[in-house]
Amino acid sequence: MGSIKKAIIPIAGLGTRFLPLSKVIPKEFFPLVEKPMIQYIIEEASEAKIKEIIFVISPEKRTVFKDFILKYFKKGRELLAILKERRKKKAIGVLNGIPKIKYRYVFQEKPLGDGDAVLKAEKFLKKEPFLVLFGDDISFGKEKFPTQLVKIFEKIKRPILCLYKMPKEKLSSYGVPRVKKIKGRLYKILDLVEKPKKIPPSKFALVGNYVLTPEIFSYIKKTRSKNGEIILAEAIKKMIRDKKEVFGLWVRGKWLECGDKKKWIKSFIFLTRKL
pLDDT tens per residue across span 1-16: 678 999 999 998 878 8
pLDDT score at 46: 95
Residue 199 in any domain: the answer is yes
Number of domains in the chain: 1
pLDDT score at 101: 83
Domain CATH code at residue 104? 3.90.550.10
Residue 42 in any domain: the answer is yes
Residue 84 in any domain: the answer is yes
Do 135 and 149 form a contact (C-beta atoms < 8 A)? no
Name the residue among 48, 17, 221 with its Cα closest to residue 133: 48
Residue 169 in any domain: the answer is yes
Q: Which residues contact 23 (CB under 8 A, 6 or more apart)?
A: none
pLDDT score at 1: 64
pLDDT tens per residue across span 65-112: 888 888 888 877 888 889 888 989 998 888 888 888 889 999 998 889
Residue 1 in any domain: the answer is no
CA distances from residue 256 to 28, 58, 61, 200, 274 in whole angstroms, order as listed: 14, 25, 25, 22, 12
Domain containing residue 132: 6-274
pLDDT tens per residue across span 164-207: 999 999 999 999 999 999 999 999 999 999 999 989 999 999 99
d(CA 120, CA 109): 10
Q: Which residues contact 244 (CB under 8 A, 6 or more apart)?
A: 159, 215
State the chain's mean pLDDT as an integer. 92
Residue 107 in any domain: the answer is yes
Residue 217 in any domain: the answer is yes
Residue 180 in any domain: the answer is yes
Q: What is the CA radius of gyration of the chain?
A: 19
